[in-house]
Amino acid sequence: MSYVLGLTGSIGMGKSTTAQMFADEGCAVWDADAAVHRLYAKGGAAVEPMRAAFPNAIFDEQVSRQALKEIIEADPAALKAIEGIVHPLVGADRAQFRAETTADIVVVDVPLLFETGGDRHVDGVAVVSVDAATQKARVLARGTMTEAQFESIRAKQMADAIKRDRAHWVIPTHTQEEAREKVKMIVEEIREKLLHA
């Protein structure tokens, strides 16, 4: 029997780094963003259904995220149709990963876990969290988006305080040492639970 832990947190909170820490502890980590990349790549399961619905989103036999962004900007209703194609495929990818892994703890790394109701399909949830000023500084330091783009993404995500309230564990990520300490503690706690299940 394995324990499925949902790992989530808003943009710039340190989720990818923390996911790697769980992997270092011997957990199997499934990454929702990586799954979408696989589905959109050449030969990916989303290419043909997306071509049927949005032919101008396909470039070089793969789904262009930039084209999808432009389609959604022109017609916000398109988002629902895109999600209708992608979400079931992502779910199937996750189910296949879970079926194939032998790890005792499976970490599903999903940025919008609460927003999409994904927390109903896991045994527990860990949220990565840091103060708002650090979050903003981290994202802007990447140099990949403007402050306005960051604020727009943050506005679409559930507030950090609400995520922390709904989570079983909160992982502070001000320093890597602090985060690693908490990850080790969570893994020990879950393994203890599994022993006595």
The pLDDT tens digits of the residues spanning 57-79 come to 999 999 999 999 999 999 989 99
Is the pTM value of this prediction over 0.95?
A: no
Placement of tokens 């398109």 in the chain:
78
Answer yes or no: do 81 and 177 share one domain: no
Q: What residue numbers bound the domain in which 56 lies?
A: 34-102
What integer pLDDT is reported at residue 155 of this predicted model? 85
Answer yes or no: do 92 and 146 share one domain: no
What integer pLDDT is reported at residue 152 of this predicted model? 86
> Low-confidence residues of the chain, pLDDT below 50?
none
What integer pLDDT is reported at residue 130 of this predicted model? 95
Answer yes or no: do 98 and 109 share one domain: no
What integer pLDDT is reported at residue 126 of this predicted model? 98
Answer yes or no: do 109 and 15 share one domain: yes
